Amino acid sequence: MRTRFSILIPTVALAAALTACGDSGPSKTDFATKADGSCAAGNTAISSAAKPTNAPQVATAAGTAVSTVDGQVAMLRAMKMPGGKDKAQVEGVIAAIGEVSAPTKALQDAAAKNDDAAMAKAGAEMQTKVDAAATSAQTFGLTQCGTGLKPAVANLFEGTKSVVKSSYVTKSETLCRDAYRKSDAIAAPGNSLTSVARYLDALVVISTKLGTDLRAIPTPPGDEGTVGEFVTALEALNGKMKDASAAAKANNPRLMIALSDELDVATTALNAKLDAYGLKTCGTAGI
C-alpha cells in the first residue's frame, strides 16, 4: 500500500524540476530583442544631438550620454537574463557598457572647465570604451545595446575632436609665428662656411624649441598619429640642420650641398603635412 509520504516524493521532485526550468530565463534571442528595444530610444537621444562646436556644448552632450548609458545599464541589470553561459556573456556586455560612463563623465567635467588636455584624454578613453562595448555586444548578438552606442556617440566624439583641434591650431600657429619672428631676426649667413654653421646653430635652437612646444599642446583625440607624424618630421628636419652645421664646421662644402638639397626636400614634405592639418602659418604661409 502506498503511503502519503511515497506519493509526495515525485510531486516535490516535479515541482523542483519545474522551478529549475523557470529559472533558466528567456532565450538568448528573446533577451536580445527586448534589450535592444529598450536601448534604442536612448541611443536615438544621444545621436540626435547636434555635433558640439564648443566646450559648453560638449559638456551638455556628454551629460546626456552619461545619463543614457547609466540608464541602459540599470535597465539591463533589471531584466531577467538567459541562463547558462549566455548569462555570463550578458553580464560581460553590461559591464562593458557600464565602463563607458566614467570617461564620458570625465569628458563632461573637462568640457565644463574648458580643459583641452583633459577633454582630449577623456574623449580618447570614451571612444576606446565604446569600441569595447560595441565589440562585446555585437558578439552576443545585440544591435542597439552597446553596438548601437558606437554610432550614437559619433557626433560627441567628433565634436570633442574638433573643439580640441581648433584650440590646437590656434596655439600652434601662435608658436610658429613667434618662432619665425625669432628666426627672421637671426643675421643672414655670409659667404663663409663658419657663418653658415653659426646661422644653422641659431636656427636649430629655435626650431627644436618649437617641436618641444608643439608636442606639449593637447592633441585632438584621434589625431595622435597625424600630429605625431608632422612633429616627428620637424624633429627630423632639425637633425638634418645639425648635420649641415657639422659639415660646415668641418669645412666640407660637398656634403653641405648634398645636405642642403635634403633639407629642401624635407622642408617641402613637412610643409605639406602642416598645410593638410590646417597649420598654414606653420607651413607654406610661414615661409
Q: What angle do CA 110, 132, 95 make, to 5 degrees?
A: 85
| The pLDDT of residue 5 is above 70 | no
pLDDT tens digits, 166-186: 999 999 999 999 999 999 999
Mean pLDDT over the full length of the chain: 92
- Which DSSP string corresponds to 73-104? HHHHHHSPPP-HHHHHHHHHHHHHHHTTHHHH
* Residue 285: predicted pLDDT: 85
Enumerate the domain spans of the chain: 26-152, 164-286
* Residue 287: predicted pLDDT: 67
- Alpha carbon of 117 to those of 106, 111, 168, 235: distances in Å? 12, 10, 10, 23
Residue 143: partners with Cβ closer than 8 Å, 6 or more residues away: 32, 36
CB atoms within 10 A of CB 173: 19
pLDDT tens digits, 221-236: 999 999 999 999 999 9
| The pLDDT of residue 20 is above 60 | no
DSSP conformational letter for 218: P
Residue, of 86 and 5, whose pLDDT is higher: 86
DSSP conformational letter for 223: -
- Round to whole Å and give the CA distance between 271 and 286: 9
- Residue 195 CB burial class (10 angstroms; 0-12, 13-18, ≥19): middle
Q: Phi then psi for 48, rounded to 5 degrees?
A: -75, -15
pLDDT over 90, % of the chain: 88
- Residue 130 CB burial class (10 angstroms; 0-12, 13-18, ≥19): buried
Contact 125, 17 (CB under 8 A): no
- Residue 82 CB burial class (10 angstroms; 0-12, 13-18, ≥19): buried
Contact 34, 26 (CB under 8 A): yes
The grid cell for 281 is 602659418
Q: What angle do CA 212, 118, 274 make, to 5 degrees?
A: 40
* Residue 32: predicted pLDDT: 96
pLDDT tens digits, 134-173: 999 999 999 999 999 999 999 999 999 999 999 999 999 9
pTM summary value: 0.86
